[in-house]
Structure 1
């Protein structure tokens, strides 16, 4: 989601993006990451020299310390494979300082804790409807087509009141905003931004209780927010948010049903579902991309290592989330219901903390709980079958997941 996106993995070969089924690609919960060690020199995919930061406390410092900035880094480190959402300088992902704070404040006025909590009943209702539809259709079923795509679409549509947009169109637009250069679809992005601009205009004329109305109201009350930023923000929240939740759900099911099927019925317990959600989000990344970059605006001591002014630092959130000094319990091999030893960095930290973290947590927890309650016997139709992956964007998720019960 906006603020949750990472750049390309800085070491290792890029996967084949065109193969519909790629058994050589491991599930995301099995990806190797750099070990958590003190900062050391590295080279990014485009040849940029950088400092690789992997220890939990070092990564957290980089993300929260004002001496590290995102300024002028939208084209650094990606090796020519940046997505629209990460490569566009107007994206909130790339804004920094006063501009970022102004846009962030506008969003926070719409994302109040009271507003977020008021959305919980219809998020749960959207999940229940998808569960009922899946069960009524009977086995076998494709869990992606029947569940991991419909649930985020229903939530996004209700949250933002996306008039006249069906699931196929939003999926098409979502893929456009997260697509890497090889898969750029300028026509789809033009459609998406035109739709967002028209939606904003309609909400100004006739506001409702949806998120877009709240964003427009906050932006107009504050004044001075460029309209292009608001349009791009609506696209990011609708498109990237929809794609990210689909990916998070799909990859969670790959792990749960593929590696730990005996744990599945336990998720009907609300407390187990809540703690399992946090552990799954902590350990399963959204894609193969691994790092996010910052620049040191002055010399900084980082874990005893001097980082010179102007240096690029590449922080690995996934390495930090596996730092054995902070998380000694064995990761996903531990009890899914065991609480994490420290706050996850899966949603980043500091000024660029993911705005949609609440949404991913809420939807995944409700999805796991309601589906495990309704279908305790849910299992993969063919546990040994290779997984086909949806590729070409900032997320990687199963393109299909045949199940029975």
Structure 2
């Protein structure tokens, strides 16, 4: 998710923290409206949302058909029909097969040692020697940037441009269209050259593996491969940065008693990471949108062919029939069912295991190193990173009890 581009002289809007978002009680599918007023169906109960996300009769590609609803006039990577997330059927499966093996739980587990070493290097850095410090600048941003850069073999020049590309790839429409277009053209050119470079000289990075897998698969348009590479670059670091920043705001601002428990063992940190991913949305728009290609019964209601369906994962993740109120906010209680924060079905997020591992290692080791970590300013003073489809603190000042606690 893109970074901040605010003017310090202009007060940031008073927005609620994402963990404080209010969710209505889930219910049967019902008619609703998209932000532009066009008709849609809202699906909110856990089993109904899972059905929509898993049923091939609900797709993404038809949203971009000539008679599609026109979801957003804002240019950006998320509205690119070539993006893997916006593909369905055989075309989507071909793209997904090129990456699936790289992101299996077993593959991600092999990355644990060097990801942990990056966490420790950041914790040993000069920026965290005395407080107060901006934990976003010193930790929550550089960690996922370093991880995705190593996985994809990106050089320093690419790392420096990554935040600029992310800001425009995930623009919420508040940027000028020609500015977004220029940024995305530069980004696409970078993705195309990266693919060409790996074809000339393959390495042991994800892009080289993608090239080999795509050649073996065959029939994948180059524009889709470029879109896939660009999606990995920005999505691979942006979501983790957002999760970390919002999780720290919640933990330090409202759950300080739980902070030391994160350092007890990796299992506790992993369970808490699962709950945090489940409870805190990445942005204010909670719906995952699909379009019905035929009449489909969902939760006892007939959704007509051609209808746009908003599957509200935030409401479904709080469905009391699946996630009891007694344990919903218990960070150390295992989830009763798989979270829908990463989606479900054919479009389930390939990076889910990596994001979970980064959050687990980051929170657990940060808590072990700084057991007295606390916010250095009131939660209401947080300045939000705006202008994109998700948000997190642009800056989060923290300090700790003791001189270099845990060192």
Task: State the TM-score, normalized to the length of structure 2.
Answer: 0.90
Runs of at least 5 residues in structure 1 that lack an aligned partner in the other structure? 2-16
* 1:6-405 superposed matches below 5 A: 21-22=11-12, 24-74=14-64, 76=69, 78=71, 80=73, 82=74, 84-133=76-125, 136-165=128-157, 167-183=159-175, 184=177, 185-269=180-264, 270-330=266-326, 334-405=329-400
CA RMSD of aligned residues (A): 2.0
* In structure 2, C-alpha distance between the alignment counterparts of 1:168 and 1:21, rounded to whole Å: 27
Runs of at least 5 residues in structure 2 that lack an aligned partner in the other structure? 401-407
* In structure 1, C-alpha distance between the alignment counterparts of 2:274 and 2:100, rounded to whole Å: 23
Tell whether the 8 Å contact from 1:178 to 1:240 is kept in structure 2 after alignment.
no
Tell whether the 8 Å contact from 2:103 to 2:353 is kept in structure 1 after alignment.
no
Higher mean Cα deviation, 82-91 or 321-330? 82-91
Superposed CA deviations along residues 270-291 of structure 1, whole A, max 9, x for unmatched, are 1210100000000000000111
* In structure 2, C-alpha distance between the alignment counterparts of 1:287 and 1:102, rounded to whole Å: 29
SS of residue paired to 2:86 = coil
Q: Give the drift of 1:257.
A: 0.6
Tell whether the 8 Å contact from 1:267 to 1:273 is kept in structure 2 after alignment.
yes
Q: Give the drift of 1:46.
A: 2.1
* In structure 1, C-alpha distance between the alignment counterparts of 2:297 and 2:128, rounded to whole Å: 59
* In structure 1, C-alpha distance between the alignment counterparts of 2:44 and 2:207, rounded to whole Å: 37
**CA 1:124–1:384: 2 relative to 1, 3 Å:** closer
Superposed CA deviations along residues 7-47 of structure 1, whole A, max 9, x for unmatched, are xxxxxxxxxx9896435210001111232001111111122
Superposed CA deviations along residues 284-324 of structure 1, whole A, max 9, x for unmatched, are 00000111211222222211112122222111000000101
* In structure 1, C-alpha distance between the alignment counterparts of 2:350 and 2:105, rounded to whole Å: 12
Superposed CA deviations along residues 32-65 of structure 1, whole A, max 9, x for unmatched, are 1232001111111122211100000000001111
Counting matched residue pairs gives 388
SS of residue paired to 2:309 = strand
Task: State the TM-score, normalized to the length of structure 1.
Answer: 0.91
Q: Give the drift of 1:234.
A: 0.7
* In structure 1, C-alpha distance between the alignment counterparts of 2:354 and 2:157, rounded to whole Å: 20
Tell whether the 8 Å contact from 1:46 to 1:76 is kept in structure 2 after alignment.
no
* In structure 1, C-alpha distance between the alignment counterparts of 2:89 and 2:292, rounded to whole Å: 14
Q: Give the drift of 1:244.
A: 1.1
* In structure 2, C-alpha distance between the alignment counterparts of 1:153 and 1:237, rounded to whole Å: 11
* In structure 1, C-alpha distance between the alignment counterparts of 2:291 and 2:375, rounded to whole Å: 45
* In structure 1, C-alpha distance between the alignment counterparts of 2:233 and 2:194, rounded to whole Å: 12
**CA 1:239–1:109: 2 relative to 1, 3 Å:** same
* In structure 2, C-alpha distance between the alignment counterparts of 1:307 and 1:372, rounded to whole Å: 47
**CA 1:402–1:83: 2 relative to 1, 3 Å:** farther
Q: Give the drift of 1:113.
A: 4.2
* In structure 2, C-alpha distance between the alignment counterparts of 1:42 and 1:191, rounded to whole Å: 38
Higher mean Cα deviation, 291-300 or 60-69? 291-300
* In structure 1, C-alpha distance between the alignment counterparts of 2:353 and 2:126, rounded to whole Å: 25
